[in-house]
């Protein structure tokens, strides 16, 4: 036995109090003088003895109550061997059902359920078992139990998912389930042994927790599958190309039908060679205004229906006028930006260049967004006009070029210039380079080559709390930042958009950067319409704010919690994004890795199982020999029960004794 808090044993010193009080009360304080006792008859010895016993019992109970209180606080506990309860013969069987998408092929899942029921039926009476489902995450279907009926109910209720399963990641996740198990563990993995799910290093399949590993392969020979591997389309031409892949050992002829917004518009026959691919090019589609739902379906279908259809969302590119405000009489500061926009055919931008003084004659609501090449060229009237435009939902890119030196603060957004910056140009070096870059922002996808650009001058400003810094120079000064104003947004670029202050316009990354910024200012009009199953999607990531994401069933998609608006894309189909009167679509498709039904051979399964044999043997031997780490079993609950009984007895006997004392006093 051991004590978890032995210092509380000092409470035993309190037992001196009842001893002292009982000693004081042993003499009767009510004494009266009496002439002689010779004529009185002696009391019966039996009654005197009973009173003395009652007195001593009361003293013992009071001492015992104090001792039990001190002992309870000291928290006594017994060491016991982990295998003592089960006699060292019981085992914990952890049954892991592979719930990946490939398990939905044909009757694989029914075979997996039968295999799980066979394991449950073969358990010894003293064995415990736990049912686990392995998909994108590991889900505990039951706790550790001896209830066979509960285990069978868990097997019947389990269903395969739609995600890809990596066996290495599954092994790491299952380790958390095995950790802390008191019984020898037998780990049953019921799976189709998909070869494509093996990790890069075979050793990653080994459980780090001691366990005997048994792999139950429910795949059968001759299982074939065909899938639509890819589907791509052009928003400009409307052309669509699909690729069908064979995961079978025999040739086959199939039909591939094309649907646009729910209507079948074309169908092609194709011959697919064993293990080969077939490409199908469809003619130009007449895309409707806005986002279009495009899908291709392979018929006749096979035993895995999820990969027989593939979808994409195509949004027709419509000409979008963009206003470029120049601060140069010869319009040279907008030349590079205008040329870059004209090359972005996918966005269909139509740049219009005008002097800043001509802004009053331009209906800003007709433009997709506005670019100010030099904020210093704006007068008070132009600033107020742009403020109204942005507050009502407009978008603005504003560069702080050479004429900004005449200003006391950044127009519209109001950031202050850094004090001590000579000539409002930052840094004493010959040039600065890009330092930090927010690669999560939708405007900055694929622009890592920005670090090659050289910035000889820039306007150094102090970022405010409401600013989001997207790019910083290696001097720490902001280069590109974003601020929301009313219903719109402003991007502030602290250098020039021509070659006067930097060499960015002649870098290969300039056009992709302009494309990302333009796409962001347009509200994500050209953002990727396809996302991977299991990835996340957020309104902020696609440049849409204050809207809602709906899942393929039309229900609002819930965020992942923690104050994040990220939505897990856990269903196959079209997710709809509604924001500010605009609607966009994101297509989520079946993971093609799950389409390959090739399984590992028997030798690989045997080698896999051997990874757990050595540790499992050591664990079982330790359980039988008592070498496993002992476990503490607290005695506090039993001490509290005895204490409660002692308190009740002390109260009852104390009342009896007090009544006798009062009788003596009368």
Residues of the chain with pLDDT under 70: 1-4, 21-55, 79-88, 236, 317, 419-429, 524-528, 539-546, 559-565, 580-581, 613-634, 656-666
Residues, the chain, total?
Answer: 666
Q: Please, are residues 502 and 454 in contact by the beta-carbon 8 Å criterion?
A: yes
pLDDT at 115: 96
Within 13 Å, how many C-alpha atoms sit on residue 192's CB side?
Answer: 31
Summarised one tens digit per residue, pLDDT across range 164-191 is 999 999 999 998 888 878 899 999 999 9
Rounded Cα distance between 71 and 305, Å, is: 67
Domains and CATH numbers, the chain: 2-27+44-81+633-665 (no CATH), 92-222+604-625 (3.40.50.410), 225-316 (2.60.40.10), 320-521 (3.40.50.880), 530-588 (no CATH)
Q: What's the confidence (pLDDT) of residue 19?
A: 74
Instruction: Record the pTM.
Output: 0.58
Give the model's pLDDT for residue 39: 59
Cβ atoms of residues 588 and 571 within 8 Å: yes
Run of H or E residues at 657: helix 636-665
What pLDDT shows up at residue 120? Answer: 95
* pLDDT recorded at residue 30: 59
SS3 560: strand
Collapse the DSSP code of 229 into the 3-class scheme (helix H, G, I; strand E, B; otherwise coil) and give the result.
strand
Quick one: which of 562, 563, 524 has its CA closest to 540? 524
């Amino acid at each position: 036995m051991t004590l978890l808090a032995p210092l509380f044993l000092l409470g035993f010193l309190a037992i001196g109090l009842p001893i002292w009080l009982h000693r004081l009360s042993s003499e009767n304080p009510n004494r009266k003088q009496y002439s002689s006792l010779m004529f009185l008859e002696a009391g019966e010895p039996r009654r005197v003895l009973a009173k003395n016993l009652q007195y001593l019992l009361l003293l013992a109970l009071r001492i015992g109550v104090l001792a039990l209180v001190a002992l309870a606080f000291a928290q006594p506990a017994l060491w016991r061997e982990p295998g003592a309860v089960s006699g060292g013969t019981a085992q914990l069987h952890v049954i892991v059902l592979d719930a990946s998408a490939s398990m939905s092929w044909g009757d694989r899942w029914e075979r997996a359920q039968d295999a799980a029921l066979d394991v449950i039926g073969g358990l010894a009476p003293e064995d415990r078992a736990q049912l686990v489902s392995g998909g994108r995450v590991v889900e505990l279907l039951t706790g550790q139990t001896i209830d066979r009926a509960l285990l069978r109910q868990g097997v019947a209720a389990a269903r395969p998912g739609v995600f890809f399963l990596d066996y290495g990641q599954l092994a790491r996740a299952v380790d958390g389930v095995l950790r802390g198990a008191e019984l020898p563990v037998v780990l049953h993995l019921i799976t189709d042994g998909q070869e494509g799910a093996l990790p890069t290093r075979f050793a990653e399949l080994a459980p780090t927790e001691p366990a005997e590993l048994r792999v139950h392969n429910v795949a059968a020979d001759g299982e074939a599958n065909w899938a639509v591997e890819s589907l791509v389309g052009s928003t400009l031409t409307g052309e669509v190309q699909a690729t069908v892949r064979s995961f079978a050992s025999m040739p086959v002829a199939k039909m591939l039908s094309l649907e646009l917004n729910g209507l079948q518009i074309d169908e092609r026959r194709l011959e697919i060679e064993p293990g080969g691919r077939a490409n199908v090019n469809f003619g130009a589609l007449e895309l409707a205004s806005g986002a279009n739902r495009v899908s291709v379906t392979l018929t006749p279908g096979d035993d895995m229906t999820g990969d027989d259809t593939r979808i994409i969302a195509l949004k027709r590119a419509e000409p979008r006028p963009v206003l470029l405000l120049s601060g140069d009489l010869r319009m040279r500061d907008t030349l590079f930006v205008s040329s870059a926009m004209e090359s972005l055919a996918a966005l269909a931008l139509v740049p219009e260049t005008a002097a800043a003084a001509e802004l009053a004659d331009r209906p800003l609501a007709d433009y997709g967004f506005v670019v100010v090449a030099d904020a210093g060229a704006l007068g008070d009237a132009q600033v107020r006009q742009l403020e109204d435009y942005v507050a009502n939902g407009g978008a603005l890119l504003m560069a702080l070029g050479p004429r900004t030196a005449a200003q006391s603060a950044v127009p519209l957004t109001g950031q202050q210039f850094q004090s001590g910056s000579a000539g409002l140009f930052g840094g004493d070096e010959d040039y600065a380079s890009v330092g930090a870059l927010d690669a999560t922002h939708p405007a900055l996808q694929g622009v890592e080559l920005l670090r090659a650009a050289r910035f000889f001058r820039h306007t150094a400003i102090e970022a405010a709390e409401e600013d989001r810094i997207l790019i910083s120079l290696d001097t720490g000064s902001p280069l590109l930042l974003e601020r929301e104003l009313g219903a719109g947004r402003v991007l502030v670029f602290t250098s020039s958009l021509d070659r006067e202050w930097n060499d960015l316009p002649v870098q290969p990354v300039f056009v992709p950067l302009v494309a990302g910024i333009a796409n962001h200012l347009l509200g994500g009009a050209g953002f990727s319409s396809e996302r991977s199953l299991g990835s996340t999607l957020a309104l902020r990531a696609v440049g849409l704010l204050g809207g809602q994401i709906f899942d393929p069933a039309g229900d609002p998609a819930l965020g992942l919690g923690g104050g994040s608006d990220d939505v897990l894309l856990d269903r196959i189909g079209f997710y709809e994004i509604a924001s500010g009167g605009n609607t966009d679509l994101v297509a989520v498709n079946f993971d093609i890795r799950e389409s390959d039904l090739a399984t590992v051979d028997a030798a690989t399964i045997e080698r896999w199982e051997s990874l757990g044999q050595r540790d499992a043997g050591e664990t079982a031997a330790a359980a039988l020999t008592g070498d496993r780490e002992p476990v503490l079993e607290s005695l506090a609950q039993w001490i509290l029960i005895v204490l409660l009984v002692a308190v009740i007895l002390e109260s009852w006997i104390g009342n009896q004794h007090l009544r006798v004392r009062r009788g003596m006093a009368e």
